[in-house]
């Protein structure tokens, strides 16, 4: 009578073991999606930009976020202020892990309420990145 319940418990314990393994591996490739999502959590909007614009941002001292280098092919991801965004040839993307964002090789993000955070965002590093 309780065979199904026991089977569900067995599957849940199996998933718990996998989760524990994923947690132990979080600093390695297994944690990349967590880190990428974490960066996106802080972004109100996301845009794809041409390589030349990404080069320009780097030449101005803007450092791409570390998580972009963990992806293959690598992606340059920057947080920018709204006024910086106006100078870029930016195409808006949905802020979620969908094909347009994953296919873009250079991405700029605008933080929530970035007008209020101009001084805090600094050079391309976002909280938790």
Cβ at position 75, least distance to other proteins in Å: 16
Residue closer to other proteins by CB (options 119, 128) is 128
Calculated CA dihedral for residues 92, 33, 36, 65, nearest 10 degrees: -120
Distance separating alpha carbons of residues 48 and 89, to the nearest angstrom: 8
Q: Which residues make beta-bridge pairs with 93?
A: 46
Give the residue with the Cβ less far from other proteins, 12 or 66.
Answer: 12
Query: Residue 37 or 87: which CB sits closer to other proteins?
Result: 37
C-alpha span between 47 and 5 (Å, rounded): 47
Binding positions for other proteins, rule: CB under 8 A: 1-2, 4-6, 8-9, 12-13, 15-16, 19-20, 23, 26, 34, 37-38, 40-42, 44, 95-97, 112-113, 127-128
Pairwise CA distance, residues 76 & 92, whole Å? 16
From the CB of 90, what's the least distance to other proteins, in Å?
19
Q: CB of residue 18 vs other proteins: minimum separation in angstroms?
A: 9
**Which of residues 18 and 55 has its CB atom nearest to other proteins in the complex?**
18
What is residue 17's three-state secondary structure? Answer: helix
DSSP 124: T
């Amino acid at each position: 009578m309780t065979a199904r319940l026991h089977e569900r418990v067995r599957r849940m314990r199996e998933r718990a073991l996998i989760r524990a393994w994923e947690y132990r591996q979080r600093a390695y490739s297994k944690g990349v999606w967590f880190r990428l999502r974490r960066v996106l959590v802080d972004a109100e909007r996301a845009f794809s930009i041409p390589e030349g614009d990404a080069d320009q941002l780097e030449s101005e001292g803007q450092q791409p976020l570390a998580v972009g280098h963990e992806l293959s092919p690598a992606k340059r991801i920057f947080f920018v202020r709204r006024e910086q965004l106006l100078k870029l040839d930016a195409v808006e993307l949905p802020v979620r892990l969908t094909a347009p964002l994953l296919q873009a090789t250079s991405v700029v993000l605008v933080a929530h309420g970035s007008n209020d955070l101009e001084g805090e965002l600094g050079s391309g590093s976002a909280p938790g990145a």
